[in-house]
């Protein structure tokens, strides 16, 4: 009897030893596979766990893009060619701010993240026009960058239809510097404004108003009110000249023509008609 009891105890002891060795071996293998005390291994583990999250982000971006396209209020279509469309890359501010814009031409897309615009009633326009009469059509994009009381910031971009690259346009600041000279002379109750275009007198205006306590510019400043429009398939610009904050003495007008590899201002003139109060308020 004692002999069988001894044998049984030896068998139980052997099984326990084998089990302990097996458990230790398994634990060592797991430690070799994922040494959690190693920071780099932790990073790898986190990266591996984020694979599903990245997929979710891609899906969210795709859904966001589809939502924008499905919302026809955010999509502008060229009236000359329905295969040319314009829509925001991102919509912010309850749908009224476009942060980046995508141009689609015959199924080919080009993103312009630097283009910012307002939506809603100021939704961008896109056109396909031969802007210089050479028989080749360009793509014209008209945006509203911002507006407020006495302020309207229009923007225009001309895009090559083949490469979808933005073409070089002479900026308003350069146009004014090269072509316009103005003087604002203030005496009690009177403001005299004189404007020369390309060295020739273009306008001379005297305004009678209360001048005491008002800060006046020494010359007209352009850029606070700028409109871009299409006139007989030509891109035209109307920029108001301010002689004080929110006070305008007339409009500089010109059109863009393609010369020497750049769209430059031509046909400049200045209209010194006094702005009416309701015209200024219409910027709101």
Q: Which two tokens stand for residue 191?
A: 């403001």
Cβ pair 145, 173 in contact under 8 A: no
Q: What is the domain partition of the chain in residue ranges?
A: 2-35, 52-159, 172-281
The pTM of this model reads 0.72
What pLDDT digit, counting tens, does each position of 99-114 carry? 999 999 999 999 999 9
Supply the DSSP string of 18-72, one letter for each residue. Answer: HHHHHHHHHHHHHHHH--TTSHHHHHHHHHHHTHHHHHHHHHHHHHHHHHHHH-G
- Taking only Cα atoms into account, the Rg of the chain, rounded to an integer number of angstroms, comes to 35
Q: In sequence order, which ranges of the chain are alpha helices (DSSP H)?
A: 2-33, 39-49, 51-70, 172-179, 277-281
What pLDDT digit, counting tens, does each position of 130-188 carry? 999 999 999 999 999 999 988 999 999 999 999 999 999 999 999 999 999 999 999 99
């Amino acid at each position: 009897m004692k002999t069988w009891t001894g044998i049984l105890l030896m068998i139980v002891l052997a099984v326990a030893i084998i089990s302990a060795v097996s458990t230790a071996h398994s634990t060592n293998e797991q430690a070799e596979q994922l040494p959690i005390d190693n920071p780099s291994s932790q990073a790898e583990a986190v990266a591996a766990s984020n694979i599903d999250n990245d997929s979710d982000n891609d899906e969210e971006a795709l859904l966001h893009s589809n939502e924008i396209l499905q919302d026809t209020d955010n999509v502008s279509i060229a009236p000359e060619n329905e295969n040319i469309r314009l829509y925001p890359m991102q919509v912010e501010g309850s749908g009224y701010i476009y942060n980046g814009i995508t141009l689609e031409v015959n199924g080919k897309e080009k993103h312009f993240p630097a283009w910012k615009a307002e939506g809603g009633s100021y939704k961008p326009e896109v056109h396909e026009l031969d802007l210089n009469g050479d028989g080749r059509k360009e793509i014209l994009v008209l945006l509203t960058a911002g507006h407020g009381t006495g302020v309207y910031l229009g923007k225009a971009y001309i895009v090559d239809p083949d490469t979808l690259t933005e073409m070089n346009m002479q900026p308003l600041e350069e146009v004014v510097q090269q072509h316009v000279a103005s003087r604002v002379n203030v005496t009690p109750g009177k403001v005299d404004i004189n404007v020369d275009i390309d060295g020739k007198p273009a306008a001379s205006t005297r305004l009678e108003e209360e001048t005491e306590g008002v800060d006046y510019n020494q010359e007209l400043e352009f850029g606070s009110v700028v409109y871009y429009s299409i006139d007989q398939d030509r891109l035209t610009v109307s920029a108001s000249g301010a002689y004080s904050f929110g006070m305008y003495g007339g409009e500089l007008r010109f059109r863009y023509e393609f010369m020497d590899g750049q769209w430059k201002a031509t046909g400049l003139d200045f209209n010194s008609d006094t702005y009416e109060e309701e015209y200024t308020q219409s910027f709101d």
